[in-house]
Amino acid sequence: MSVRVPLPRWVDVALLPVLNVVLAFLIGGLIVLSVGQNPLDAVGYMIYGAFGYGSGFGYTLYYTTDFIFAGLAVSLAFHAGMFNIGPEGQAYVAGLGVIIVALLFNGLHWALMFPLMIIAGGLFGAFWAFIPGYLQAKRGSHIVITTILFNFIAISLMGYVITKILKPAGVDSDESAPIQAISRVPQLREFLALFKNSPVNLTFLLAIVALFFVYWLVWRTKFGYAMRTLGRNPTAARYAGISSSRMIMTTMALSGALAAMVAVNNVGGVQGRLILNFVAGAGFVGVAVAFMGKAHPVGVALASLLFGALYQGGQELAFSMPGITREMIVTIQALVILFTGAMGDMLRIPLEKLFARWQRPAGGG
């Protein structure tokens, strides 16, 4: 018999995450206070920086795009019962796929190039995630370990490919040859002047599509049903005749393909070339995003926006309040990850007790 009374749904999906973010900001505020700065000012700068003006908002959406893809990649694998910690490496390797088609067909109109980049990047990302999936399905190697290690392999491999193969002669920085302007994913500012010089591009719309796609795939298809069965109860999946090995490999490949869109955003849209370490941690933020968003597309979208705002607002804060260093901003971001991800359930039991107490007089006791 269960002693704990589950929380009402709105508390679970809305109140709890909000409280966690508030808690993270309160503690972050104490840190700001301890270096003699005004936390309220700091929050004001952050919000202004993230949403207050067109270019800032554009940057927020650019970061959000990356986080949505990485968050969806982790979420999808999570529904099949796997913890994919490798979107960072999968996105990085996908960059190779994007740059290969882009340089091969350099000069092609973006309307043709954009789908090509999605396909090529997707295939490379899928391949990089498929290998840990295969090792898990056929060899029993734990996916958490392999996906983490594959990030390191990706870093070394890509470092070699970029510096030794792709880097054109006579260029000092570690990057590939550039993609011509006509072939790049167009910036949203070309359609909406609001975004000024910010890097948000058409990939943002692709992210929105991906949110709907993942929802459909997980909750509206037979494949999604089988995936959730495997994730929730592997024994029942076996009983139902669902092939777990096939499921693991397919889901990991799809997960990697989602992570790969980070490369389309950056390589094909923003930088227009493949540069060293372009993923810059977005893959890891995806893990926190998926956690906070409870692996649901709506949650992933909101969590991505929050982290996008934290990234962009943090830049603004460092710029506007010199007393607050970059490291302190990273600390605040880490606090949000800590409270929403790792300690996301800290307040659950106190809240359950609180609600149980409220309900008892009403429940006819």
Other CB atoms within 10 Å distance of the CB of residue 348: 15
Min dist CB 362 to another protein, Å, is 9
Min dist CB 69 to another protein, Å, is 22
* 230/257 Cα distance (integer angstroms): 20
Given a contact cutoff of 8 angstroms between Cβ atoms, the answer to whether 68 and 214 are in contact is no
Given a contact cutoff of 8 angstroms between Cβ atoms, the answer to whether 81 and 255 are in contact is no
Given a contact cutoff of 8 angstroms between Cβ atoms, the answer to whether 189 and 58 are in contact is yes
Catalog residues that contact another protein under the rule CB under 8 A.
Answer: 1-3, 5, 220-226, 228-229, 232-233, 235-236, 238-246, 356, 359-360, 363-365
Q: Which two tokens stand for residue 323?
A: 């007393």
Q: CB-wise, 143 or 288, nearer to another protein?
A: 143
* 240/219 Cα distance (integer angstroms): 18
Instruction: Give the torsion through C-alpha atoms of 20, 26, 32, 35, to 10 deg.
Output: -120
Q: CB-wise, 90 or 229, nearer to another protein?
A: 229
Min dist CB 365 to another protein, Å, is 5
Side chain identity at 264, as an amino acid letter? V
Q: CB-wise, 106 or 244, nearer to another protein?
A: 244
Min dist CB 247 to another protein, Å, is 9
Min dist CB 3 to another protein, Å, is 6
Min dist CB 140 to another protein, Å, is 13
Min dist CB 85 to another protein, Å, is 24
Q: CB-wise, 228 or 294, nearer to another protein?
A: 228
Min dist CB 363 to another protein, Å, is 4
* 87/271 Cα distance (integer angstroms): 20
Q: Which two tokens stand for residue 270?
A: 């923003």
Would you call 272 helix, strand, or coil by DSSP? coil
Given a contact cutoff of 8 angstroms between Cβ atoms, the answer to whether 252 and 133 are in contact is yes
Residue 9, CA distances (Å) to 14, 20, 71 in order: 8, 16, 22
* 111/89 Cα distance (integer angstroms): 27
Q: CB-wise, 191 or 358, nearer to another protein?
A: 358
Q: CB-wise, 238 or 326, nearer to another protein?
A: 238
Residue 137, CA distances (Å) to 143, 249, 364 in order: 9, 7, 51
Min dist CB 39 to another protein, Å, is 39
Q: CB-wise, 5 or 349, nearer to another protein?
A: 5
User: Which helix (H) or strand (E) segment is 164 a member of?
Assistant: none
Q: CB-wise, 236 or 330, nearer to another protein?
A: 236
Q: CB-wise, 34 or 359, nearer to another protein?
A: 359
Q: Residue 168 class from Cβ within 10 Å (0-12 exposed, 13-18 middle, 19+ buried)?
A: exposed
